[in-house]
Structure 1
Amino acid sequence: MDAVSEDLELLPTTRRALRHRIAVAQSEGRAPSVVAAVARGGEVVWEGSRTFVEGHGPDGNVQYRIGSITKTFTAVLVMRLRDEGLLSLEDPLEKHLPGTGAGEVTLAQLLSHTGGLAAETPGEWWERSPAELRPELADVLGEEPFRFRPGRRHHYSNPGYTLLGSLVEAVRGKPWDEVLRAEVLEPLGLDRTTARARAPHAGGWAVHPWADVMMPEPAQDLGLMAAAGQLWSTARDVARFAVFLAHGDERVLSPESVREMRTSAAPPEPGVAELGYGLGMQLTDAGGRRLAGHSGSLPGFVAGLWLSEADDVAAVVLANCTSGLPAASVAAELVGIVADAEPRFPRPWRPFREADPVALELCGPWYWGTSPQVLRLKADGLLELAPVGATGRAARFRAEPDGSWTGLSGYYAGETLRVVRREDGSVSHLDLGSFVFTREPYDAQAPVPGGVDPQGWRGIG
């Protein structure tokens, strides 16, 4: 079955390709059921499902456990605290949650899994054991919580997100799930996303690897570990959450803050975050397409959420099996199916309404040594630096009140671009992080470091 938004209806051929992909996924992955949803242009435009029950199946309103996609919700709560000025991401955990034994780790390191903490809790397999075995944070972290020195490398850590959930509770003075409900779920209208299952919901199953038989998996309350993987949700709700992660919502987080979450804050980890890990978000490349999102699993369930900012397409896949169906990979393929079959129309070009004459005189070709670059003034008021005819260090810059420009992306992110003028007010050169950009290659009239040979350019006789 599939449902389609009337506003942004997909082509029949695209809908069939989506249905076919999840049908293959359910069959080859040997999953009792799978549900999926696609969002485009800020709306959920397709839902589909597949099950072995003839003539019946779950829809976008049936709950499944989403596992570690929960971490992205927790990261949103931490970012809200940051945006309210209640903490800094560079704060050590000890400042807000003392006595954990892991207080030297910064909040940014916890969000990006670079805190060096263990991947799992000590003792029993926590996802299949009762929360009563972990009544205190000390039971989650153990006597030796660290595997690496904080900040040295990316090492995925479930206990790290338990600490972030406890941080939220400490700062807000309320349980994690209550804060999540009031500050994220209700504003975004995610009324089918809950900390505990609410009917209708799927049951979790283990499928035998060598025989077509199944066994139910226990559905444990994760207790202190809830912030790392507790949530139940639906394909429809997770797709709406993906829209928020792509565009922001001022009631929850600004577009700038969700963009920060989608920006790599940790080095790549093969198999987990191919392009690095953001703040609560995995980053990967799928067929040359940059995706941000998260995978998830708990005994009985697998989940995948990916969004392509460039294509404005997101996809969600949820299934009720412990393993077998690669939910995250299928979700990435659904994004590709829509983006390739129905490419996004670019926004119409429009002119700059009030071009800044100072910025205008900076436009055109510049040279870093002998490397040609070009500066363009965009309609949004930003300067865009890019190499001419070759790959290189492209960046965008925002104007500052003092006449300088601050890098927003690429190699020059955070660096300052300054315009250096001659006594008559004309532009001599640009200074960008100590690099001198001139109007001609190695302009003899500009203070090029090391000087310019007085004989100038010449051939070899």
Structure 2
Amino acid sequence: MTSAAGDTSAAGRLERMVRQVQAQARVPAVSAAVHRADRPLWTCTAGGTGNDTALDEQTRFRIGSVTKTFTAVLVLQCRDDGLLDLDDPLHRHLDLPAHGELTVRRLLSHTAGLQREPYGDVWDTLRAPDTDQLINELARAERVLPTGRRYHYSNLGMALLGHLVGRVRGGSWVEVLTERVLTPLGLTATTAAPGPRAATGFLVDAYSDEAHPEPPTDFGAVGPAAQLWSTATDMARWAAFLADPAALDAAGRVLAPATLDEMRWPVTVTDEAVWAGGFGLGLILVPQGERVVHVGHDGAMPGFLAGAYGRRGGEGTPGAFGAAVLGSSGTAVELLELPHRLLAAAVEHDPADIDPWRPGDPAPPDLRGLLGRWWGEGFEYVFSWHEGALRARGAGDPPGKPPAVFAPVPDQPDVLRTVSGRENGELLRLTRDAAGVVVRMHWATYRFTRRQETFDGFDFRG
């Protein structure tokens, strides 16, 4: 790709950002990509592989803990297929000498309290255990915190989940991953082995320009936590899937959009004082302000750093919007901020097109009479019909706050269930007078009336 010097286009701005990080953070090789539904794939590479292969879009890098997002999706697939429950203890599916009482959900959210790594000094020896050794030595691994006490990151926990997936599916973790995720989504460059087109990973000397090659490593039974290699183009597509699965998997072959919603719901913050990031079910959540969140994961292995994040919410955000940055330095932490910067810059300088409003169908006759303003708990709400559904918003809600959305409850006339937004899951019950006019509603058991009332039903405005 040619130099972006003087190029003020959106693509030129992104390229300049990548090249600045590569030069200033002294990264031997950087590969970046931005995926979005409304524009061609954007890619950029800078530097060299450190070996006799050319650096291009097909160069593979170690993605480290971004691997965990794949394992998490496999676990949720098992749940959706009825093979397990997220609150199952591990011993229901695995024969373990210890820690079998820990639940799938706790391990996914890093709140189980299990120690970070398998037993032994794996980062000294760079020899990861095989599956038998991992299980046999589990009794020597500590529960370093009470379960549910707080966030504590654990590669060991995710390795156990990968082993569980293989056990309940009847294959290895790699086999299940390839068949059920990589192939359906077309992630053909994502593999457990580096292949012939891989960049060399380096430790760049802090006080000189020397770059020391890092030794190749195979993570063995801990592979479900950090084994994979990939390209920036594959990872940008994967990040877009995590943010907007319906756009890339309309049939839900990999995972239903509602399940990704569940995975993206925050379970814990990573810092009790600075709520700048959190974990859902295997996914890192990074708030960006203005109701925007980036969802994905970072990765680090000897000689490599990676980040892959999709963007949700906010004005100008297109569908299927994800960015990935892969680099061949193990210490250039600037790489980990770059996906977030690329997503923000792409929206700022090339926002999604604005779709024109078009008239739609009217509300059903039995609901038209309840549209308009209602009062509940002393506050005013507006009920409306948009995009084929009944909605409700607080009269003072900011424009970007999602409304509550309702769906009819089968075989229960005048009863609807909140399916998203405020009071999600709660019922809305309608009360009609003799003429069939809705005169009162109860939402999550709170009374809603056409005029402001006290809790005992007195209309103080006469």
Corresponding residue of 1:8:
none
Of 156-165 and 63-72, deviating more is 156-165
Task: Give the drift of 1:314.
Answer: 1.3
Matched, 1:76 2:73: yes
Q: Secondary structure at the match of 1:258?
A: helix
Query: Which AA in structure 1 matches 2:381?
Result: Q
Matched, 1:450 2:448: no
What do residues 276-306 of structure 1 show as CA deviations (whole Å, max 9, x unaligned)?
3122211112364321111111111000111
In structure 2, what is the Cα distance between the partners aligned to 1:426 and 1:451?
Answer: 19
In structure 1, what is the Cα distance between the partners aligned to 2:114 and 2:39?
Answer: 38
What do residues 420-441 of structure 1 show as CA deviations (whole Å, max 9, x unaligned)?
3345433232212222121111
Q: Secondary structure at the match of 2:9?
A: helix
Matched, 1:398 2:396: no
User: Given the alignment, which residue of 249, 262, 265 partners 1:263?
Assistant: 265
The gaps in structure 2 that reach 5 residues or longer are: none
What do residues 368-390 of structure 1 show as CA deviations (whole Å, max 9, x unaligned)?
233111112221x3332211134
Q: Secondary structure at the match of 1:101?
A: coil
Task: Give the drift of 1:128.
Answer: 6.0
Query: Which AA in structure 1 matches 2:110?
Result: H
What do residues 17-43 of structure 1 show as CA deviations (whole Å, max 9, x unaligned)?
111101111112111110000011176
Structure 1 pair 360/160, CA: closer, same or farther in 2 (3 Å)? farther
Corresponding residue of 1:372:
380
User: Given the alignment, which residue of 260, 280, 286 partners 1:278?
Assistant: 280
Are the aligned partners of 2:294 and 2:309 in contact in 1 as well (CA < 8 Å)?
A: yes
In structure 1, what is the Cα distance between the partners aligned to 2:404 and 2:103?
Answer: 28
Corresponding residue of 2:304:
301
Q: Secondary structure at the match of 2:278?
A: coil
Of 73-82 and 39-48, deviating more is 39-48
Task: Give the drift of 1:163.
Answer: 1.2
Q: Secondary structure at the match of 2:183?
A: helix
Task: Give the drift of 1:405.
Answer: 2.4
In structure 2, what is the Cα distance between the partners aligned to 1:351 and 1:90?
Answer: 45
Matched, 1:383 2:387: no
Structure 1 pair 175/376, CA: closer, same or farther in 2 (3 Å)? same
The gaps in structure 1 that reach 5 residues or longer are: 4-10, 443-447
Structure 1 pair 338/411, CA: closer, same or farther in 2 (3 Å)? same
Superposed CA RMSD in Å reads 2.8
User: Given the alignment, which residue of 325, 336, 350 partners 1:328?
Assistant: 336
Task: Give the drift of 1:127.
Answer: 8.3
Structure 1 pair 127/416, CA: closer, same or farther in 2 (3 Å)? farther
Structure 1 pair 32/79, CA: closer, same or farther in 2 (3 Å)? same
Query: Which AA in structure 1 matches 2:310?
Result: L
Structure 1 pair 12/393, CA: closer, same or farther in 2 (3 Å)? closer
Q: TM-score by structure 2 length?
A: 0.87
Are the aligned partners of 1:43 and 1:240 in contact in 2 as well (CA < 8 Å)?
A: no
Residues matched between the structures, number:
442
Q: Secondary structure at the match of 1:187?
A: coil
Task: Give the drift of 1:71.
Answer: 0.6
In structure 1, what is the Cα distance between the partners aligned to 2:18 and 2:357?
Answer: 37
Q: Secondary structure at the match of 2:447?
A: strand
Are the aligned partners of 2:190 and 2:231 in contact in 1 as well (CA < 8 Å)?
A: yes
Structure 1 pair 139/347, CA: closer, same or farther in 2 (3 Å)? farther
Corresponding residue of 1:339:
347
Are the aligned partners of 1:37 and 1:316 in contact in 2 as well (CA < 8 Å)?
A: yes
Task: Give the drift of 1:179.
Answer: 0.7
Q: TM-score by structure 1 length?
A: 0.88
Structure 1 pair 44/67, CA: closer, same or farther in 2 (3 Å)? farther
In structure 2, what is the Cα distance between the partners aligned to 1:170 and 1:273?
Answer: 36
Corresponding residue of 2:432:
421
Corresponding residue of 2:31:
35
Query: Which AA in structure 1 matches 2:83?
Result: L
Q: Secondary structure at the match of 1:36?
A: strand
Corresponding residue of 2:196:
199
